[in-house]
Amino acid sequence: MTSGATSRYRKSIWGARVMLEVRDLHSGYGEAHVVRGVSLDVGSGEVVAVLGRNGMGKTTVIRSIMGLTPPQIRSGSIKWRGESLIGLRPHDIAARKIAIVPQGRRLFPSLTVTEHLTMLKSARARTGWTVERVFGIFPRLAARRHHRGGQLSGGERGMLAVGRALMIDPQLILMDEPSEGLAPVMVQHLEEIVLDLKREGLSILLVEQTSIVRSPSPTASISWRPGRSCIRATPRRWRSRPISCFNALACNKDWRAVRMS
């Protein structure tokens, strides 16, 4: 990264240096204009959760950032550490240390846990994220290391999808509904893992349907209309006055983003 790009870093309103910057993003599928003017920031070492029901364009935002098609980006900007990502292919974006945990996990049923983790990095690797380091945060995967993807439970598949993403030594992880289909106890475990990764210094953009605003960990939040950003406020305000926050902006309870610390 050149010094010019570095010099364009700015601080988010929460004080962290902005790493991912999305501005006035418009994207969609054919004639369907799904995302209309979305803007968001993810700072260094921050976790931002975008929450809302199905059909709000959450996955479209994630796919647009990752360079996956469809959707097609119509206008707007997506910058990573000052560099535009628009027009780059997904593997080029991944090479910039951006990983994705896709909706539905997208595992290979015939590959073992270890084979999934060593697809992108040798099992002999000793730097960054290694197989043993992933097993350290997911002990259940260590016990299932020889099981195939199709033999894992929903919770184990979710752990493996996150572990696979970690193997590229990411600086940013895009998580698209990682709690989908999980039992409540596994969702709580997932929240703990996300916070552990945050403490490791990773930035995370987390898309979910379920609300974690009541969690003690968030420190700031963003409210969105379907596909449109509305307001930024502290989670304390969301928890104490959620209706007034939405009514003040005439927003539906469709999109929210929570910053966790």
Structural domains in the chain?
3-260 (3.40.50.300)
Reported confidence tier of residue 144, pLDDT bands at 50, 70, 90:
very high
Across 22-31, 77-86, 184-193, 225-234, the highest mean pLDDT is recorded for 77-86
What is the model's pLDDT at position 251? 44
CA–chain centroid gap for 127, Å, is 24
What is the model's pLDDT at position 112? 97
CA distance 182 to 157: 10
Q: What is the mean pLDDT of the chain?
A: 80
Q: Which long-range contacts (CB under 8 A, 24 or more apart) does 108-111 make?
A: 108/149, 109/148, 109/149, 109/150, 110/148, 110/149, 110/150, 111/148, 111/149
Q: Which amino acid is it at 41?
A: D
Indicate the pTM of the whole model.
Answer: 0.81
Across 51-55, 91-95, 219-223, the highest mean pLDDT is recorded for 91-95
What is the model's pLDDT at position 69? 92
What is the model's pLDDT at position 180? 82
Checking if the pLDDT of 218 tops 50, the result is no
What is the model's pLDDT at position 249? 38
What is the model's pLDDT at position 15? 53
Region 207-216: mean pLDDT is 57
